[in-house]
Homo-oligomer: A and B are copies of this chain.
Amino acid sequence: MAQRQKTRQQRDNLVWAAAKLFRRQGYSGTGLRDILAASGAARGSLYHYFPGGKEQIGAAAVNAAGGLVTETFVELARQADGPADFLHRYSDLLVRWLEASKFRDGCPITTTLLETTPESAAISAAGRAVFADWRGVMADMLRRDGWPASRVPATATAIIAGLEGALLMARVQGSARPIHDTAQALCDLLETNQSRQTRA
């Protein structure tokens, strides 16, 4: 039993080391060598847990990192007082993370996905699942806020897309402004529903 945990931990070490490196340097830019050094595991261990090699650990990294973001979304959606408040809280969080890493740590899955889609079916599938989860959290929140069902999916997608794009631009510019600007504009968008309800 103690062993089970220990091995599980080594596997996790591998995945999280990979996730961190992929996020900073990209998928192709990160060698197995780097991952092994960062996780303290040996070369063969990686192929024990991931017979599929780099592609499989890439998919696992997308799953793990994406899942962590999903958890953050869920928790924040629970705490927040509506979608606009959620956006403010999350964009603040994002900015803090970015600045703490000197704009090195962006979205933990986009870089890997852009490099490997659609060449790697496994990684693409992992990415699709993560995006679906994220949209799901947003959609739930919008519905709870009283949005008409017909507009929920598109708006949820747009919010994720906006955040994703803002994060990318913020990294390139080395500035938090794209995130603040985009969050502000998205909040304006969210108001449209408010005003429609008021008018109706």
Binding site for B on A (CB under 8 A): 25-29, 102-104, 106, 110-111, 113-115, 117-119, 124, 127-128, 131, 151, 153-155, 157-166, 168-169, 171-174, 177-178, 180-182, 184-186, 188-189, 191-192, 195
The complex places the Cα of A164 from the Cα of B179 at a distance, in Å, of 13
The complex places the Cα of A168 from the Cα of B29 at a distance, in Å, of 19
Contact across chains for B177 and A169 when beta carbons are under 8 A apart: no
Contact of A161 (CB < 8 Å), options: B127, B128, B182: B182
Min CB gap A101→B, angstroms: 10
Contact across chains for A181 and B153 when beta carbons are under 8 A apart: yes
Enumerate chain B residues within 8 angstroms of A162, measured Cβ to Cβ.
158, 161-162, 165, 182
